[in-house]
């Protein structure tokens, strides 16, 4: 953190402790860290208030943290709002909160609520279905993930969701260890999306799978 406003904030308003989650794996598991960077705000009792996953611009970052201090935008706040005035956009934000906390059962429930309450090809529906497919992939449920990505490809044909789902399906087959299916899926992706920025990645994966280059560590 090099921005002076952020430095001043953590000097005067909040205590910051940096942890290398790849080394302190027990602490990372305790807080269910699923991606980096992740900032977890805790209260004086050590209980989680909420978290920020990924990078944000300094001003937005500080606004988010100050809102959390006031109880604004936290999971508890969103759940309360959902009780008062249900909304599929709100349901999506709640689903993401649980997703980042590794609350799989709750995340699935709220993502499914978004899908049920949205138009089938609505962007939030697409994002929710991609998230559910990715949850299967992360859980190493590769067959379920591949089926989910294939379904998205079919239902969202002509959209960015179909393109993303197709490259992730190929990646899923590779992680599963199904070399034949992975090669075919990567080749089909290149055929369907020759102008995609992921073509280079797909071509490299095909070469690795065919043993034409050494697998990178």
pLDDT band with cut points at 50, 70 and 90 for residue 17: confident
Whether 79 is in a domain gets the answer no
- Report the C-alpha gap between 12 and 7 in whole angstroms: 9
CATH (domain of 216):
1.25.40.10
| Residue 214 exposed, middle or buried by CB count within 10 Å (0-12, 13-18, 19+) | exposed
What pLDDT sits at residue 81? 96
Q: What is the mean predicted confidence (pLDDT) over 38-60? A: 90
pLDDT band at 217 (very low <50, low <70, confident <90, very high): very low
* Contact partners, residue 194, CB within 8 Å, separation at least 6: none
Each residue's pLDDT tens digit, 144-174? 999 999 999 999 999 999 999 999 999 999 9
Q: Which residues does 106 contact at the CB level (< 8 Å), separation at least 6?
A: 98
Q: End of a domain among 31, 50, 69?
A: 69
CA distance 41 to 68: 8
Angstrom CA distances, 163 to 102, 103, 120, 138, 196, stand at 26, 28, 17, 19, 9
Domain boundary among 69, 98, 123: 69
Q: Looking at the domain assignment, is residue 202 inside a domain?
A: yes
In a domain, 129, yes or no: no
pLDDT of residue 37: 85
Is 101 inside a domain boundary?
no
Please report which confidence band the pLDDT of residue 24 belongs to, taking 50, 70 and 90 as the band edges. Answer: low
Our count of domains for the chain comes to: 2
CA-angle at 164, arms to 155 and 128, nearest 5°: 60
Residue 10 lies in a domain: yes
Decide which of 49, 69, 89 is a domain's last residue.
69
For the chain, give the number of residues.
217
Q: Which residue has the higher pLDDT, 22 or 71?
A: 71
pLDDT of the residue at 36 = 81
Higher-confidence residue: 97 or 216? 97
Whether 96 is in a domain gets the answer no
Q: Does residue 208 fall inside a structural domain? A: yes
Over the stretch 83-142, which tens digit does the pLDDT of each residue have?
Answer: 999 899 999 999 999 998 878 999 999 999 999 998 989 999 999 999 999 999 999 999
The CATH number for 12's domain is: 3.40.30.10
pLDDT of residue 185: 98
Average of per-residue pLDDT across 38-59: 90
Residue 214 lies in a domain: yes
- Rounded to the nearest 5°, which phi and psi values hold at 51? -145, 160
- As a whole number of angstroms, the distance between CA 102 and CA 29 comes to 10
- Predicted confidence (pLDDT) at residue 26 exceeds the cutoff of 70: no
Average pLDDT, the chain: 91
The boundaries of the domain holding residue 183 are 140-217
């Amino acid at each position: 953190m090099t921005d002076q406003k952020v430095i001043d904030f953590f000097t005067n308003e909040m205590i910051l402790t940096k942890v290398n989650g790849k080394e302190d794996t027990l602490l990372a598991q305790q807080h269910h860290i699923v991606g980096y960077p992740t900032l977890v705000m805790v209260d004086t009792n050590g209980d989680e208030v909420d978290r920020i996953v990924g990078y944000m611009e300094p001003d937005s970052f500080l606004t988010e943290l100050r809102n959390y201090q006031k109880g604004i935008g936290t999971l508890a706040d969103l759940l309360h709002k959902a009780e008062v005035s249900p909304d599929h956009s709100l349901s999506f934000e709640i689903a993401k909160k649980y997703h980042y906390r590794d609350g799989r059962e709750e995340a699935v429930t709220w993502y499914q609520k978004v899908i049920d309450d949205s138009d089938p090809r609505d962007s939030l529906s697409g994002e929710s279905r991609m998230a559910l497919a990715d949850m299967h992939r992360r859980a190493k449920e590769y067959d379920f993930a591949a089926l989910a990505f294939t379904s998205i490809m079919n239902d969202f044909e002509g959209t960015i969701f179909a393109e993303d789902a197709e490259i992730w399906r190929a990646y899923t087959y590779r992680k599963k260890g199904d070399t034949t299916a992975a090669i075919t899926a990567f080749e089909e992706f290149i055929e369907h999306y020759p102008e995609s920025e992921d073509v280079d990645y797909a071509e490299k994966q095909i070469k690795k799978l065919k043993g034409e280059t050494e697998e990178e560590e």
